[in-house]
Structure 1
């Protein structure tokens, strides 16, 4: 689900061309107004950064109607101090480790994924009203290629579960988010070196950028590929 390629030396065009081999490139909501290379999302943290992108478990852009099926992150600059690893979590296994009773309760539930949660709530970016996508996806999704079930909620974008009170929804989501964040068996960790490219299946993984290198810098560029279909149960 996560591939790591060391010692790559990619131009932006080569990075995009590689992504296009797997489908149409995704344009991130924060890049909609960019005139140059809107398919490239810059991932940059410096001593002046108030936050770091991806500092928390999430699946990329699940607020979209068709969230990316995969993402390719190319890290060019790593912190001098070390650190800045990215952790990945297996959502197949996250689902499998739940009790049969919990699985049964989650079947048929639908969650709301709202772009305003990270982009305004965390990044303090305030676009014109309505500019951020907001969509609904099943809590339990079936992977279109493998046919396996997986857990499809994440703390980055999922705001609530439809048909529940706020208190019920919060309690259930907090349990699921905690299940993902505190179960080491679900995770692997990529230690970045300059010119490393990772390629992951965004449909069945979550990831988390570890910000343990302040005040040093890290810089990378990400390309994502649009899925052919919406997440479905």
Structure 2
């Protein structure tokens, strides 16, 4: 991600390590998450702009396995995760809310990037969540460029209890 325009102050981005977020859950809770899939879709309507096409909806596991390291990580995003497949909306909202709050509250596995001209950030999107901080009201523009590879399908491997055995 590369910053093009930024407000005089504010507009930072938080990055969270989803491997650590997963590891902080109890083994029993980790096991319960395995096998669950969620539906993901892009933003609805482009923030009031013209909607040129319907969002693409896909299903991915809530816990994914990194194809290189083998690490397990939560794979949820607050903005695009629409619900858990096969669950009632209320049930899904409760679990996804808990997982999003768990990630947001893990300040010891987060980093905050304060943008300035020329800042470039590269991260592994398979195991990292990110969110902008909307903390400026000056009308200034915050514009970033981002390149995202699109060829990999998230995978999940069987649950292995690393804490009890």
Equivalent of 1:136, from 45, 59, 63?
59
| Runs (5+) with no aligned partner, structure 2 | 157-165
Gaps of 5+ in 1: 1-72
Shift of 1:134: 0.4
Number of corresponding residues: 156
With the length of structure 1 as denominator, give the TM-score of the two structures.
Answer: 0.62
Change (3 A) 1:211 1:88: same
Query: How far apart in 1 are the matches of 2:89 and 2:12?
Result: 34
For the residue of structure 2 that corresponds to 1:196, the secondary structure is: coil
In 2, are the aligned partners of 1:109 and 1:139 still within 8 Å (CA)?
yes
**8 Å CA contact retained: 1:137, 1:231:** yes
What aligned pairs does 1:38-53 form with structure 2 within 5 A after superposition? Answer: none
Any conservation in 1 of the 2:60–2:154 contact (CA below 8 Å)? Answer: yes
Give the alignment of 1:1-233 within 5 angstroms.
Answer: 73-80=1-8, 82-115=9-42, 118-120=43-45, 123-125=47-49, 127=51, 131-233=54-156
Deviations 1:3-49 (A, max 9, x none): xxxxxxxxxxxxxxxxxxxxxxxxxxxxxxxxxxxxxxxxxxxxxxx
* SS in structure 2 at match of 1:132: coil
Cα deviation digits, residues 184-211 of structure 1 (max 9, x gap):
1221011111111111111111111112
SS at match of 1:225: coil
Q: Secondary structure at the match of 1:173?
A: helix
CA RMSD between the two structures = 1.8
In the alignment, is the contact (CA less than 8 A) between 1:150 and 1:204 conserved in 2?
A: yes
Q: Name whichever structure is richer in strand by fraction.
A: 1
The superposition leaves residues 41-70 of structure 1 with CA deviations (integer Å, 9 ceiling, x where unpaired) of: xxxxxxxxxxxxxxxxxxxxxxxxxxxxxx
Distance in structure 1 (CA, Å) of the matches to 2:65 and 2:74? 9
CA distance in 1, matches of 2:144, 2:114: 16
SS of match in other structure, 1:92: helix
Q: Segments of 4+ in structure 1 off by > 6 A? A: none
Contact 2:4–2:145 at 8 Å: present in 1 too? no
Mapped partners of 1:205, 1:178: distance in 2: 15
Contact 1:84 1:218 (8 Å CA) reproduced? no
Question: Normalized against structure 2, the TM-score is what?
Answer: 0.85
